[in-house]
Amino acid sequence: MPQPDLMDKVVALAKRRGFIFQSSEIYGGLNGAWDYGPYGAELKRNVKNAWWQSIVHFRDDMIGLDASILMHPRTWEASGHTENFADMLVECKKCNKRLRPDHIQGGKCPQCGNTTFSEPRAFNLMLKTSVGAMEDSSSVVYLRPETAQGIFVNFGNVIDSTHRKLPFGIAQIGKSFRNEITPGNFTFRTREFEQMEIEYFCRPEQAEAKYQEWIQARFNWYLDLGMKKENLKLREHAKDELAHYAAGCTDVEYQFPFGWSELEGIANRGDYDLKQHAKFSGKDLQYQDPVTNEKFFPHVVEPSGGCDRATLAFLVDAYHEETVNDAVRVVLKFHPKLAPIKVAVLPLLKKNEGIVAMAKKIKSELQKEMVCVYDDTAAIGKLYRRQDEVGTVFCVTVDVQSLEDKQVTVRNRDSMQQERIPLERLSGYLKEKLS
């Protein structure tokens, strides 16, 4: 069931606690663009690190790439984006607002209420820019609408430099840009976003099995990072939804407050992409089997997810409200791998020089091994609530007794249980709990 009030709460928390801000807010903001604040930047980085670790570091059949945002314009001709990457739009005949036909509710323009529109026309979603000193047709390039093509055009380079054998994949995280006409739902649909993409190359007869393997692997990744299973589902595309070259596509969907929506898609793309780039570039992009010398175009399975969408889903999924001592406690129950801050060190009395010195020393030692903050700007109860709202996993409190027994109080975010831990055991205790 859609929960618009939950989305409002998450958006408000995201701004109040420094997760996400409207881009250029002091100038009225820019629609479809968002800035990640101190905690949001850490959360998003943790999502990317968890993906990269899982995909590249923990697998023997994957390697990474970081391709340029700007690419030769012929790239987008070969991929079909120049000709086909478009939305069908109509224009309101009264206020001239451009809209997708499927976004018009009740036949009325959402801006002015008019009911008459132009005939649908194609509107290309790629963002143009120019390179070089002259702004003419020869200087036109595009901000890439996806990261995938950077992998395909480097397929030959990767084979030559790494001598990889099929099956293997190339992974990439990077910025993409689309001139979305109707960005919305906070950071779900934006004009500038980051993708986490894989192109997995295999023999034609392996493609279906690898496609199924990747569907399950990508679904499980979200579960492994604490996302609630009831908020996830797989949706297989109907045949009329598929690109003409695709043998199949399945989306991992999340139940956002505004309804079920795509987190990422896993596609069985056949050999279309490499064939197209070979045709347009004149380069041989076939794979040569080192044993049989057979040459062929590998088939490709493509898991492609949005980093911003995943970050938003983890933020929504972590949001909890509960009543404690007749007051509402808001807490973000992130998986420890994703939590922006792992440990907060809090002095019980900020005017006690001994307590403050000990707390700062503990923070200095812990931050060598984990993301850690020091805070003495409020009473201890308010500090706990503040850390709960940003998802900090543990709070370490230094009190008067700590000066005598060299022990501190460790508070667990989720259970709120407190435990006295000797200083010599503190680092090992926290690392064990956070692993």
Domain of residue 408: give its range.
341-434
- Per residue in 247-261, pLDDT (tens digit) is 999 999 999 999 999
Please state, rounded to an integer, the average pLDDT across all residues of the chain. 92
The verdict on residue 117 lying in a domain is yes
Cα separation, 399 vs 408, in Å, equals 7
Same domain, yes or no: 67 and 100: no
Same domain, yes or no: 145 and 114: no
For residue 36, pLDDT over 70 is answered with yes
For position 73, which CATH number holds? 3.30.930.10
The verdict on residue 331 lying in a domain is no
The verdict on residue 332 lying in a domain is no
Same domain, yes or no: 131 and 267: yes
Same domain, yes or no: 157 and 40: yes
Q: What is the mean pLDDT of residues 15-39?
A: 94
pTM for this model (two decimals): 0.89
Q: Which two tokens stand for residue 252?
A: 């991992």
Cα separation, 29 vs 22, in Å, equals 6
What is the pLDDT at residue 125? Answer: 82
Q: What is the mean pLDDT of residues 331-349?
A: 97
Q: What is the mean pLDDT of residues 148-177?
A: 96
What's the number of domains the chain is made of?
A: 3
- Per residue in 371-393, pLDDT (tens digit) is 999 999 999 999 999 999 999 99
The verdict on residue 322 lying in a domain is no
Same domain, yes or no: 27 and 102: no
Cα separation, 177 vs 96, in Å, equals 24
Residue 49 CB-density burial (10 A; 0-12 exposed, 13-18 middle, 19+ buried):
middle
- Per residue in 51-94, pLDDT (tens digit) is 999 999 999 999 999 999 999 989 998 988 877 666 677 878 77
Give, to the nearest 10 degrees, the angle between helix 307-318 and helix 4-16.
100
The verdict on residue 185 lying in a domain is yes
Same domain, yes or no: 146 and 230: yes
Same domain, yes or no: 135 and 256: yes
Pairing between β-strand 343-347 and β-strand 394-398 as defined by DSSP bridges? parallel
Q: Which two tokens stand for residue 92?
A: 């309101």
The verdict on residue 326 lying in a domain is no
